Amino acid sequence: MWAIINKKENFNVVHTHPNCYLSAAYYVKAPINCGKFEIEHPNSAKKYAYPEVEVRNELNLEVASIEINEGDLLLFPSYLPHKVGQNQSDDDRIVISFNVDIQK
Predicted local distance difference test score (pLDDT) of residue 25: 98
pTM: 0.86
Which neighbouring-strand residues pair with 12? 84
For residue 24, the domain's CATH number is 2.60.120.620
The domain of 14 spans: 2-100
The answer to whether 50 and 92 are in contact (CB under 8 A) is: no
Predicted local distance difference test score (pLDDT) of residue 100: 94
What residues contact 77, with CB distance under 8 A and at least 6 apart?
Answer: 21, 22, 23
- In angstroms, the CA 77 to CA 81 distance is 9
- Judge whether residue 7 has pLDDT over 90: yes
- In angstroms, the CA 66 to CA 80 distance is 15
Query: Mean per-residue pLDDT for 27-40?
Result: 97
Q: Measuring CA to CA, which residue among 15, 13, 10 is closest to residue 94?
A: 10
Percent of the chain with pLDDT over 70: 98
Predicted local distance difference test score (pLDDT) of residue 86: 97
State the total domains in the chain: 1
